[in-house]
Structure 1
Amino acid sequence: MSEVKTQFKHVSYLWDEDQAAKLAGDEVALLVYRSNLLGADLRLTNYGGGNTSCKALAKDPLTGNEVEVMWVKGSGGDLGTMKRSGLAALYVDRLRALKNIYRGIEHEDEMVGLFNHCIYDLASKAPSIDTPLHGFLPFKHIDHLHPDAAIAIAAAKDGKKITEELFGGTIGWVGWQKPGFDLGLQLKQCLDENPGIRGIMLGSHGLFTWGDTAYESYINTLEVIERCADYIEQHTGKDKAVFGGQKIESLAKEQRAAQAASLAPILRGFCSSERKMLGHFTDDDRVLEFINSNDLDRLAPLGTSCPDHFLRTKISPLVLNLVPGEDLSDVKAIKAKLQPLFEDYRKMYKEYYETCKHPNSPAIRDANPVVILYPGVGMFTFSKDKQTARVAAEFYINAINVMRGSEAISEYTSLPRQEAFNIEYWLLEEAKLQRMPKPKALSGRVALVTGSAGGIGKAIAKKFVEEGACVILNDINEERLQGAVEEFRGLYGKDAVAATLLNVTDNQSIVAALDATALAFGGVDIVVNNAGISISKAIEDHSIEEWDKLYDILVKGQFLVSKAAAAVLRKQDIGGDIINIVSKNSVVAGPNNAGYGSAKAAQAHLTRLLAAELGKDKIRVNTVNPDAVIANSNIWAGGWAEGRAKAYGITVEELPAYYAKRTLLNEIILPEDIADACYAFVGGLLNKSTGNILNVDGGVAMAFVR
């Protein structure tokens, strides 16, 4: 192996010779290894972007003869996490033979279906649109990436000239062309006309590099991107103004967070005019540099260049007409100020669709913006789920990097509107969207369940996540909360859950928790007042302090959380749900229960009062009445079990059986049963129900409310 450079400034060299040695002889394993390394560095390619391949000999299962097979990243997936199962495997000779029946660029989409006739491994992933780009090139290992540094050159007005001068003719150039069969032919033509080149720059798009081995391809890729990044850095020194220089100053970090938390639910409401959207906020330094600059108004409307960026960020962002630090307390006034902006954006998007559509184009999609820029504060992104919103933010930061580099070395150029439309409303992309799984019942919804680090609260949170919601876990106990967060992230991934400490008796803590929810997900849709304690004592043994504690946590806590939540729900103006976990003790009188039972009765009536008040805002307020939920419940700590056992003249160990036997169904009630009841209220079938009580107690006749 020739001596190569392994020290880089702008990219990460991650190759481990010992690890690679274990994979020697297995070219596909080395391809997966290389792909994971490339995908681990977002400076090389973004999430889900780019593709890699290798060609090697394999035994034909029908003839037993050795044939050349290409393994290439399949449709969808992400290089950083890709496994062998994420690859498509195709016969190279069959793929190249498709050139013989290719009818021209007007018909190139039909070639995708023909890839199926070239598949070697019938269990492999479906081939992507980029398959011919790899298949028509002769190299054993190929990387196609979307590095910001390379796209900055590819999207520059003088990109072709810069590429020729920077690499001395060793990097070819193919002008913008939508990915597909024709682009694969153009890559091969570029190579034929420029033998000996080490890669090809795709105008406005990305980079192709290669090598005879997995390692040579990896090093070649790093070296080319490093040179691009070095070149851009030379043109963006400290003495050179970026984006035309700074126009405004950012607010301080804490002020930015406060402004974003206050504004996010309002923006979410606007963006959810067609379907509920989830949000993401970032005040990354690269974002602030762009949105605070003199060139923001010129560059933002241009949109992005790389199709991977564009598909996730839409035609252009919406720039808010708010000043940093503006008073956002008058929600009605802020909405009135923003309403025309959203109307103009929707009008612009509809005109873009009508101007560019083809006779067979899919129907127009949601006309609301994905990316929203607030100068001095940061960037909001909204999409169908948290991951897509977060990734949209990452892609727009990539686009900012591209604009920054292009402007430094030349002049940034975006995709023409028609070309952008052809990508966004590509029939093949539409087919991919149609194949996606149907959204779950709670997709696009955000839930805050108080006391969700254990017991009933955790069961409710799990149920909601499993049905598609994002949840913000909370508890007054930091250690218990951290354990729940780790469990949820392990089960459901990082995008499904956020966390905050919450004391329901402290209004400041509640407001901070809802702010954290707004920053994490854009707002809230479902609030479950679940946090509670239980004290069972005869009245002569019941202290005033215990009485106050019960009413502070159960009644005052429910009131304060509901009040703060209602303010956020009204900001969004898209309705919502408040569910109060009360108890059968709210209607059943029993011994040794004066404090707890009366507090539960107050909770139950507060449900009815709030249902009456919030109905005009399409906010439903309902009650779930559990009884005797013993398993994994914190309610049985602190002497409650002993108190109830004493009241019934039995031992603590006999309580579960005692409670089950007194029910009509003779059933033990579990936290999951309460979670199912909560889901019944919010899952879509009871959207016209409010002020109701749902008993989950196995059937306690004394607790019947009607």
Structure 2
Amino acid sequence: MEKTLTFQHVSYLWDEAKAAELAGDEVALFLYRSNLLGADLRLTNYAGGNTSCKITETDPVTGQPAEVMWVKGSGGDIGTLKRSGCANLYVDKLHALKNRYRGLEFEDEMVALFDHCLFDPKCAAPSIDTPLHGLLPFKHIDHLHPDALIAIAASKDGEQIMKEIWGDTMAWLPWQRPGFDLGLQLEKVVKENPGLRGVILGGHGLFTWGDTSYDSYINTLEVIEQAASYLEANYGKRRPVFGGVKREQTLDAAQRRQQAVGVMPVLRGLASSHRRMLGHYTDDARVLEFVNSHDLDRLAQQGTSCPDHFLRTKIRPLVLDPAQMQQPAAAVHEYLQERFEAYRQDYTAYYERRKHANSPARRDPNPVVILWPGVGMFAFAKDKQTARVAAEFYTNAINVMKGAEAVSEYQGLPEQEAFDIEYWLLEEAKLQRMPKPKSLSGKVAFVTGGTGGIGKAICEALLEQGACVVAADRDRLDETQQDLRKQFGKDSALATSIDVLSAEHIGESLRQSILQFGGVDIIVNCAGLSISKPLSETTQADWDILNDVLVKGQFLVSQAAVEILRQQQLGGDIVNIASKNGLVAGPNNVAYGTAKAAQLHMSRLLAAELGPDKIRVNTVNPDAVLRGSKIWEGDWAAGRAKAYGISVEDLPAHYAKRTLLGEEVLAEDIAQAVRVFVDGSLAKSTGNVLNVDGGVAMAFVR
């Protein structure tokens, strides 16, 4: 076939100028190719698939030329692959492992032997797919999981369809778990069928190759384009897509969002019975087409096919009855509890009937993917990225089912094969090697005043401990969101507009938090302002704005957040940032000091009321946080300097000098005080006050 550069179903991203810059460095070109393939989710999902190249290196021991394979290492992602993420192995040593292979019953022992084939002992760990690349003769190989190819690979008539599209230029291997034997099968089929451009692995994915990185890239795109074009031409011919529409889409986007917000905290609470989970919601058109179809129940029950899909989405999703979901809130909660319990029991039964004598212990029995006809899909996982990726993978599975049903009949993995993948000892070993969760992993913090000096420092301190953060404020939103995501990852933070004097604005800000992360666990009331005037100069407007923002704002935010915390039934934390001025009477400070004292006592009142809900309420009292704090950008500093008869420039030294420790208080100090209240260090503390003021004897609480 002639090569084509015109594609409708995949993205041609190759830049000749960029490739020319990399000419002569085969590894650099291999990484460039890998990144381009990983940039198009129609080709493969996050961390899905792997790529390789074989080059000649100088053996550091013998000084002689040696053929070395560079391949994506275990757990990597081709879209972001770098040299450090690659394993590199002697090709001849990989072939020599054939002499050590004892058969399918001893597959797992081969993985440890890969380490003895490493060219660079400090490279990334080789993945289970290493022999699938190493035993093939081609210089450049792409192994991907494109939806269009898996649709054919997961079809009852997949092999026949393959021949219809590509004739004898492609070969078929029936489903088999990845490993050394599958590598031998690939090697055999290529030797027996010279002139192949690729191999389809039944129920799994695609192998393609080329003499150069560019040749492999083009070959891969062409094969996927041809598969996608074939499916496109057949949608609706054999039968209506997904058996046709069972439920008309009656809700618009705003209504779907409203429905999702109303139930997501409840779902999150139920999904967190094993460990705290974060959520992701999507009403992608592909999802809605599936969940509103006649075939939803039949296909959802079959589960996914590709191992990468299955490992991230579990054996099958939980499907909700839309009629039951329209009941009053209490009845919906009861229905969801019943559905979750039924799912857990079903998952436990699956584990019991398929487990082996040496299988790892049963894992979390809660669903990862939840489908609500008319509304969309929810996914829950240990962190936001994993939840988002799970939703992406199930969307891929939907695409696969759509394609397979259009041209044949979809076939999911047999249940025993699915179990053997999910509870594979090598997969368990990978899970055991993962770092332990941080103290705030799985939790969501909502910080008002989150873009200011103290607020942003609190966001950063909580993010460092694994939390996801919503920085709610009036300005600096884009700047703060970009900065936090740059430091902690794109799934870590959200900046949202808020007016703490408006219940409607607060509600919308919290709704954004729910849609982004599934709920909220930690509320930090840090929004504030300061006005320093003597009684005679304090206006009613001064009094009103201070008491509105500091007191009413704290009340409204806490009231709205507690409703969400109670829906989740996971407890929670409220930390109010008050001030030393709430305890100590100072000059020219009547409105501000009164408002801060009200914040303090409201915290005690809420602690007394919310204890039965396992919601802790505590207060941090800063004093004289100058650097980076918004309250010092206005007239406050001048007012305090005037009150003490000193210049503004002398304020930091003045405040530090008057403390028992003689230390300046920083925004980071306040942030650490918040952290210890919420990270489990003080799990049985509520109604307490923690002064972070360098030591001011007059502010001692007791």
Name the TM-score class by shorter chain: over 0.9
**Equivalent AA in structure 2 for residue 85 of structure 1:** S
Give the Cα separation in 2 of the matches to 1:3 and 1:578: 65
Aligned to 2:60: 61
Q: Which secondary structure does the structure 2 equivalent of 1:246 belong to? A: coil
Q: Which secondary structure does the structure 2 equivalent of 1:280 belong to? A: strand
Q: Alignment partner for residue 684 of structure 2, among 677, 685, 688?
A: 688
Aligned to 1:274: 274
Equivalences for residues 25-64 of structure 1 within 5 A: 25-64=24-63
Aligned to 1:661: 657
**Equivalent AA in structure 1 for residue 180 of structure 2:** F
Q: Which secondary structure does the structure 1 equivalent of 2:491 belong to? A: helix
**Equivalent AA in structure 2 for residue 390 of structure 1:** R
Aligned to 1:172: 171
Aligned to 2:218: 219
Aligned to 1:430: 428
Give the Cα separation in 2 of the matches to 1:637 and 1:80: 43
Equivalences for residues 573-592 of structure 1 within 5 A: 573-592=569-588
Aligned to 1:475: 473
* Deviation of 1:322 (Å): 3.2
Aligned to 1:299: 299
Q: Alignment partner for residue 339 of structure 1, among 333, 337, 340?
A: 337
Per the normalisation by structure 1, the TM-score is: 0.98
**Equivalent AA in structure 2 for residue 510 of structure 1:** I
Q: Deviations over 1:390-447 (max 9, x none)?
A: 0001000000000000000000000011100100110001111111111111100000
Give the Cα separation in 2 of the matches to 1:611 and 1:25: 67
Aligned to 2:565: 569
Contact 1:50–1:145 (CA<8 Å) still a contact in 2? yes
Percent of residue pairs identical? 67
Q: Deviations over 1:592-622 (max 9, x none)?
A: 1111111111100000000011000000000
Is residue 646 of structure 2 the alignment partner of residue 647 of structure 1?
Answer: no
Q: Alignment partner for residue 482 of structure 2, among 470, 479, 486?
A: 486
* Deviation of 1:109 (Å): 0.5
* Deviation of 1:86 (Å): 1.2
Counterparts in 2 of 1:513 and 1:604: CA distance versus 1, 3 Å = same
Q: Which secondary structure does the structure 1 equivalent of 2:218 belong to? A: helix
Q: Deviations over 1:638-687 (max 9, x none)?
A: 31111111111111111111111111111110000000000010111111
Q: Deviations over 1:36-88 (max 9, x none)?
A: 11111111111100011111211111111111111111111110110111111
**Equivalent AA in structure 2 for residue 395 of structure 1:** F
* Deviation of 1:264 (Å): 0.6
Q: Alignment partner for residue 394 of structure 2, among 393, 396, 403?
A: 396
Aligned to 2:552: 556
Per the normalisation by structure 2, the TM-score is: 0.98
Q: Which secondary structure does the structure 2 equivalent of 1:360 belong to? A: coil
**Farther off after superposition, 308-317 or 117-126:** 117-126
Contact 2:129–2:179 (CA<8 Å) still a contact in 1? yes
Q: Which secondary structure does the structure 2 equivalent of 1:80 belong to? A: helix
Give the Cα separation in 2 of the matches to 1:375 and 1:3: 44
Give the Cα separation in 1 of the matches to 2:2 and 2:183: 32
Q: Deviations over 1:459-496 (max 9, x none)?
A: 0001000110000112112xx11111111122112100
Aligned to 2:417: 419
Contact 2:324–2:332 (CA<8 Å) still a contact in 1? no
* Deviation of 1:637 (Å): 2.9
* Deviation of 1:240 (Å): 5.7
**Equivalent AA in structure 1 for residue 565 of structure 2:** L
Give the Cα separation in 2 of the matches to 1:636 and 1:25: 57
* Deviation of 1:3 (Å): 6.3
For the aligned residue pairs, the C-alpha RMSD in angstroms reads 1.3
Counterparts in 2 of 1:325 and 1:340: CA distance versus 1, 3 Å = closer
Aligned to 1:440: 438
**Equivalent AA in structure 1 for residue 422 of structure 2:** E
Aligned to 1:124: 123
Give the Cα separation in 2 of the matches to 1:7 and 1:626: 62
Q: Which secondary structure does the structure 1 equivalent of 2:243 belong to? A: coil
Q: How many residues align?
A: 701
Give the Cα separation in 2 of the matches to 1:337 and 1:244: 28
Q: Deviations over 1:553-611 (max 9, x none)?
A: 00000000000000000000001000000011111111111111111111000000000
**Equivalent AA in structure 2 for residue 98 of structure 1:** L
Contact 1:255–1:325 (CA<8 Å) still a contact in 2? no
Aligned to 1:465: 463
Give the Cα separation in 2 of the matches to 1:663 and 1:514: 38
**Equivalent AA in structure 1 for residue 610 of structure 2:** L
**Equivalent AA in structure 2 for residue 629 of structure 1:** V
Q: Deviations over 1:8-34 (max 9, x none)?
A: 111111111221122222221111111
- Unaligned segments of structure 1, at least 5 residues: none
Equivalences for residues 501-540 of structure 1 within 5 A: 501-540=497-536
* Deviation of 1:192 (Å): 2.2
Aligned to 1:156: 155
Contact 2:325–2:332 (CA<8 Å) still a contact in 1? no
Q: Which secondary structure does the structure 2 equivalent of 1:373 belong to? A: strand
**Farther off after superposition, 249-258 or 691-700:** 249-258
Contact 1:55–1:140 (CA<8 Å) still a contact in 2? yes
Q: Deviations over 1:337-379 (max 9, x none)?
A: 1111000000010011111111111111100000011110111
Q: Which secondary structure does the structure 2 equivalent of 1:567 belong to? A: helix
Give the Cα separation in 1 of the matches to 2:481 and 2:409: 46
Q: Alignment partner for residue 604 of structure 1, among 592, 600, 606?
A: 600
Contact 2:279–2:387 (CA<8 Å) still a contact in 1? yes
Q: Which secondary structure does the structure 1 equivalent of 2:241 belong to? A: coil
* Deviation of 1:249 (Å): 2.6
Is residue 72 of structure 2 the alignment partner of residue 73 of structure 1?
Answer: yes
